[in-house]
Amino acid sequence: MRSAVSTPIIIDCDPGHDDAIAILLALASPELELRAISTVAGNQTLDKTTRNALKVLELAGRTDIPVCAGADRPLRRELQTAPHVHGETGLDGAELPEPTTPTVDQDVADFLAERIEPGIVLVPVGPLTNVAHLLQRRPEARPDRIVWMGGSIAEGNVTPAAEFNAYVDPEAAARVVASGIDLTMIGLDITHKALFTQEHAEQLRGTGKIGTFVAELADFFLRFHRERYGMQGSPIHDAMAVAHVADPTLVTTLYTNVEIETASQWCDGRTVVDRWHATDRPANVHAGIDVDADRFLELLCSRLESL
């Protein structure tokens, strides 16, 4: 069911376990209207992330949502994927139907530009390569607002200093941060505060094909987070960006300066967040600093159950 005033969004993603769940959360949220999906190379190669996006829509019975395959590599760097996190397919652990619909055969900058209109929120949950291409090739079509899952104030995940989405294409992230667009950063500091546990997975398993799919994804994702980080649950990073658009009261943000490191021996991809206003650099990002974890997880599970 869609509420009277729903916010139109476009998700730019690299599915990815949490990307898939973010897409499903958007489909299940009456406050949101998912207008389109663009895919980018990140967690896996572009062919795989694109097929995964199509498969998720197939499972959800929402093949009406157009999908465009975007950049197959970062702006300037070699692509780094994350098979250790998401498996060889990008969605290891779950069964999905083969896609029956093709992608929209269009340059991703044009695809996004044609769909951006006043009030639409662009929700990138992967490396920012496609968004950087949009800003460069179709500067007149800049969105009013971007809510990005990426970066962190404190620790990294792919390196000690950097979060994966920022690390894979820091030049793209730097371009987006410098664009002046109203930008929110949902980083590791808050996504790690809300852990999806085996209990959540069991709650969803058996509620239907979507619940079963999410539980199977969680089995794989939880195992990775347990073995790699000793966590008793897994962050569903990308879903928090979608949830923030649906319910802005879940996440607390701080409007401050963020810069992206692109030329460092150890810290490439670091999002340098001026958490305590230590500089006079102008504020340019709403950085997530806290989340109501219980309410986020409750929203996530109840919405997924409803599909």
| Active site residues per annotation | 237
* Span interacting with Ca ion, options 10-18, 184-192, 223-231, 271-279, rule CB under 5 A: 10-18
- 125 interacts with Ca ion by CB under 5 A: yes
Residues 15-54 that bind Ca ion (CB under 5 A): 16, 19
Q: Number of residues in contact with ligand BDR, rule: CB under 6 A? A: 15
Our CB check for ligand BDR shows the closer of 164 and 196 to be: 164
Give the integer Cα–Cα distance in Å for 210 and 37: 19
**271 lines the binding site for ligand BDR (CB under 6 A):** no
Cβ closest to ligand BDR, residue 238 vs residue 274:
238
Taking CB under 6 A as the binding criterion, the range among 59-67, 138-146, 156-164, 207-215 that sits at the site for ligand BDR is 156-164
Return all residues near 81 (Cβ < 8 A) that are at least 6 apart.
Answer: 41, 42, 43, 44, 45
Q: Which stretch binds ligand BDR (CB under 6 A): 16-24, 48-56, 111-119, 261-269?
A: 16-24
Q: Does 201 bind ligand BDR (CB under 6 A)?
A: no
- Does 126 bind Ca ion (CB under 5 A)? Our answer is yes
Q: Is 38 in the site for ligand BDR (CB under 6 A)?
A: no
Smallest CA-to-CA distance from 71 within 14, 135, 137, 129 is with 129
Between CA 175 and CA 79 the distance in angstroms is 18
x-or-dash pattern for ligand BDR, window 97-116, by CB under 6 A?
--------------------
Contacts to Ca ion from residues 230-289, by CB under 5 A: 238
Q: Using the Cα atoms of residue 80, residue 83, residue 88 and residue 92 in order, give the sign of their dihedral.
A: negative
Single-letter amino acid code for the residue at 39: T
Residues between 61 and 90 with contacts to ligand BDR, criterion CB under 6 A? 82, 85
Residues 6+ apart with CB under 8 A from 78: none
Which conformational region is residue 295 in: left (phi greater than 0), alpha (psi within -120 to 50 degrees), or beta? alpha
CA distance linking residue 76 with residue 234, whole number of Å:
31
**Residue 16 vs 70, nearer CB to Ca ion:** 16
Q: How far is the CB of 150 from Ca ion (least distance, A)?
A: 8
The interface region with ligand BDR, picked from 15-23, 101-109, 196-204, 244-252 by CB under 6 A, is 15-23
**In the complex, least distance from residue 100 CB atom to Ca ion, rounded to whole angstroms:** 24
Chain contacts with ligand BDR (rule: CB under 6 A): 16, 18-19, 43, 82, 85, 125-126, 149, 157, 163-165, 237-238
Chain contacts with Ca ion (rule: CB under 5 A): 14, 16, 19, 125-126, 238
